Amino acid sequence: MIARASNVGQRQETCDERADRLWLELMQEVRVVLTGVQLLLAFLLAVAFTPAYDRLNHTDRLLYLVCVLCGAGAMAALTGPVALHRLVTGLQLKPEAVLWASRLVATGMVLLLTMTSLGVLVVLRQITGAGPALVLGGAVAFWCGVCWVAPALVLRHRRRARGAERPSAPSRARPVGPRGPLV
């Protein structure tokens, strides 16, 4: 017997089909974000070999160090799903792999946000001084958060509101991994 799950748009798919689709979607997302992380990290790594690095004070060097470490962590988290896939391919663990890969991508996005914010902060401290740099750096971090999170929150809220309007809507089963519903 094939377990079927329906979701938005009345798509009918097995748990394996859903896991395959989610995996492909996740890999497309990783392709987009990983390119940006790699470019930013490459520029950050190059900074340490420029004369400008020698002019940074202790605080800015510490911020720079944390920024580079966040970049390396983001790159590791965003390439983690590929390693995961290679190591579990053929073991029939795709739903669980999708769940873990999704967590790695979310972690990578948080590290990317931190790296970007700290990088901007270090640059702005050189241009505007510490006070204005904190405000502007915080504004950049806030804007990234708004762009990355706010649309999803609005869509989720609208979906919940529509669900409340249609109390007789059929229950939609979702594929379940070892620790709960898949992404």
Range 34-53 average pLDDT: 88
Strands 11-14 and 4-7: antiparallel
Model confidence pLDDT, tens digit, residues 102-112: 999 999 999 99
pLDDT score at 10: 63
Given a cut of 50, is residue 21 above it in pLDDT? yes
Measured between alpha carbons, how far is residue 121 from residues 63, 96, 132, 134, 157 in Å? 8, 38, 10, 7, 33
Range 5-20 average pLDDT: 73
Model confidence pLDDT, tens digit, residues 57-92: 999 999 999 999 999 999 999 999 989 888 888 888
Please give the helix or strand (H or E) that residue 7 lies within, else none: strand 4-7
Alpha-helical runs (H) found in the chain: 15-47, 51-54, 58-88, 94-128, 130-165
Given a cut of 60, is residue 4 above it in pLDDT? no
Amino acid at 114: T
Amino acid at 173: A
